[in-house]
Amino acid sequence: MSNNLYTKEHKAIIEKLKKARQEAGLDQIAVAKKLGKTQSYVSKIESGQRKVEALQLKKFAKIYNKNITYFI
């Protein structure tokens, strides 16, 4: 059995999260500070080890100055 619990759709969302962060010129530490989380938290989301919840996705969209529909 695979350790990957996530769908292709989830993978697409996390790829867009990484791309949006890079386009915003932010590193994971800066994003983590804005979220009030650790860098490890952001890393786990971007690596697919942790699913991103809808409310968290909304926060990412605001930080990256993107409409939430960009990610979905």
71, burial (CB in 10 Å: exposed 0-12, middle 13-18, buried 19+): buried
The full set of domain ranges for the chain reads: 8-70
Question: 8-70, which class in CATH?
Answer: mainly alpha
Express each pLDDT in 15-67 by its tens digit. Answer: 999 999 999 999 999 999 999 999 999 999 999 899 889 999 999 999 999 99
Specify the pTM: 0.86
DSSP string over 40-51: HHHHHHHHTSSP
Tokens 């930080």 correspond to 63
End-to-end CA distance of the chain: 27
